[in-house]
Amino acid sequence: MAVTHDVPPQLDDLVATAHRIREAIESVIEGKGDVVRLTLTVLLAEGHLLIEDVPGVGKTMLAKALARSIDCPVRRVQFTPDLLPSDITGVSAYNQQTREFEFKPGPVFANIVVGDEINRASPKTQSALLECMEEHQVTVDGTTYRLDAPFMVIATQNPIEMEGTYPLPEAQRDRFTARIAMGYPEPAAELEMLDVHGAASPIDKLAPVATTAEVRALIEAVRAVYVSQAIKKYAIDLVTATRHSPELRLGASPRSTLQLVRAARAHAALSGRDYVIPDDLQALCVPVLAHRLLPSVEAQGQRRLPEQVIADLVRRVPVPEAQAR
């Protein structure tokens, strides 16, 4: 054995807990291991997830399964054009008995908030949610209410329907740590889904496999994952590359660098490592960065998606070890 090293005990717990959650979710969503893993990564990175795909591929199911498998308050908001900001944050109502205004918390006061079809709501409502996402707090009538940790918004979005939707502007998309597409399931997975989902929805049988406290501990453990200078520099190199690429009209923001590294920490922890390696960053570059970028006119003309551009950049930017040579 050439190399021996001990994984910190905390990480062992983390890997075990994460494994339990993954198994729980995957019992509901078949054949989407990557998506589940990324969802967990975002949860542990204290980020928010934007799931973008056509209807019926299990976006809401994923969000609900995650919420179910953690024993924590989950609220689901169906966004519609007439939804008001107060419908999300909550309202102050006058209590005639106490003769005082009382705050009625909205659905955002939960650990996991599932925002279905977020692009259907008016920009005003969208921005109300986005403020909560960024600040982890809600301000109503001058009073600020803190949101419990963990706090994660899983928003879904339907890219096909354009009628009567308000697509998220770049600035708001930037708040989401990652965007994923579910994609259609494999035929085998779909067959299994038919077998399992035929009689009853398995999500009803899903029992929580982790507590809020456990998840909080996991997040703490992820924060302790080591990021070397070389890795930080590599992350900056990657992000900088998007800013200089002629195929992109808008590069990634400094916030995205932060979230990339944070997600990489979670990714490393989920792999049982207490340090980040370039592979973590490479694996996360597309989901973390792609939705923040705007392709240039030329790239659009060539039907190049930001995902492809980023994949190319990742192939071009040298890893720290290669730089050292």
Partner 1 sequence: MRLPVAAGAATGAVAVALYPLFQTGTWFWASLGAILVVTAVGMLASRYTLPVWPVPLAQLAVFWLYLTAVFAGDTAWARVVPTKESAVELAELVATGFADIQKFAVPVPERPGITLLTCGGVGLIAILVDFCAARLRRSALAGLPLLSLFVVPASFIGDPLSWPTVVIAALGFLGLLAADGRERVTHWGRAVLVRRTPSFVAPRPAAETGTLRLSGKRVGFAAIVLAVLLPSMVPTLEPNPLFGFGVGNGNGRGGNTIGIPNAMVNLRGALSLPANSTVLTYTSSDSASRYLRLYSLDVFDGTEWTMSPPRGRPQDRTSEGPLPPAPGQGAGVPAAQATTRVTVSEEVRRLSFLPLPYPATQVRIEGDWRADVDTLMVFSTTDTAEGGTYEVVSNEPRPTAEALRTAGAAPQAISDKYLRLPEDLPDEIVRLASAVTDPDAGKYEQAIQLQEFFTSKGGFSYTLATQGHGGPALTDFLIRSRAGYCEQFAASMAVLARVLGIPARVSVGYTGGTNISGQWTVRTHDSHAWPELYFEGTGWLRFEPTPAGAAGQGSATVPIYTQPEVTTGGDDTPTANPSTGPTGAGVPSGSASNPRNPMLDRDFGGVPVAVEEGTPTAVKIGLGGVAVLLVVLIPALLRAGVLLRRRRVYSRQALRSGAAGEAGEATATALGSTGIAAVRSNRGQATVAAAWAELDDALCDYGVSRQPSESPRALARRLSEQHEFDAAAAASLARIAEAVERMLFARTLGETGSFREDVRRVRRALASTVSRGRRVRAVLLPPSMLLRIRAMGTRLLDGFDRLENIRFGRPARRNA
* Chain residues in the site for partner 1 (CB under 8 A): 1-6, 226, 228, 230-231, 246, 249, 273-279, 282, 296, 314-322, 324-325
What's the residue count for the chain?
Answer: 325
Instruction: Give the span between the Cα atoms of 325 and 320, in whole angstroms.
Output: 9
| C-beta of 150 vs 278, nearer to partner 1 | 278
**CB burial string 214-232: b at 16+ within 10 A, e below:** bbebbbebbeebebeebbe
In the complex, the smallest distance separating the C-beta of residue 222 from partner 1, rounded to whole angstroms, is 15
| C-beta of 99 vs 244, nearer to partner 1 | 244
Find the farthest-apart pair of alpha carbons in the chain and give their distance in angstroms, rounded: 75
8 A C-beta contact, residue 68 and residue 110: no
| C-beta of 189 vs 230, nearer to partner 1 | 230
Sort 6 into a burial class: Cβ within 10 Å, 0-12 / 13-18 / 19+.
exposed
Sort 68 into a burial class: Cβ within 10 Å, 0-12 / 13-18 / 19+.
buried
In the complex, the smallest distance separating the C-beta of residue 285 from partner 1, rounded to whole angstroms, is 11
Instruction: Give the span between the Cα atoms of 190 and 294, in whole angstroms.
Output: 34
Backbone angle region of 164, left / alpha / beta, with phi > 0 → left and psi within -120 to 50 → alpha: left
Structure tokens at 279: 């592979």
Residue (of 259, 247, 319) closest to 285 by Cα position? 259
In the complex, the smallest distance separating the C-beta of residue 319 from partner 1, rounded to whole angstroms, is 5
In the complex, the smallest distance separating the C-beta of residue 6 from partner 1, rounded to whole angstroms, is 8
| C-beta of 25 vs 231, nearer to partner 1 | 231
| C-beta of 64 vs 273, nearer to partner 1 | 273
In the complex, the smallest distance separating the C-beta of residue 224 from partner 1, rounded to whole angstroms, is 10
In the complex, the smallest distance separating the C-beta of residue 170 from partner 1, rounded to whole angstroms, is 14
| C-beta of 182 vs 283, nearer to partner 1 | 283
Per DSSP, the residues of 168-231 read PPHHHHTTSSEEE---PPPHHHHHHHHHHHHHS-HHHHPPP-EEHHHHHHHHHHHHT-B--HHH
| C-beta of 207 vs 324, nearer to partner 1 | 324
In the complex, the smallest distance separating the C-beta of residue 5 from partner 1, rounded to whole angstroms, is 3
| C-beta of 152 vs 266, nearer to partner 1 | 266
Instruction: Give the span between the Cα atoms of 83 and 204, in whole angstroms.
Output: 28
Residue listed under structure tokens 């979710």: 25
In the complex, the smallest distance separating the C-beta of residue 2 from partner 1, rounded to whole angstroms, is 5
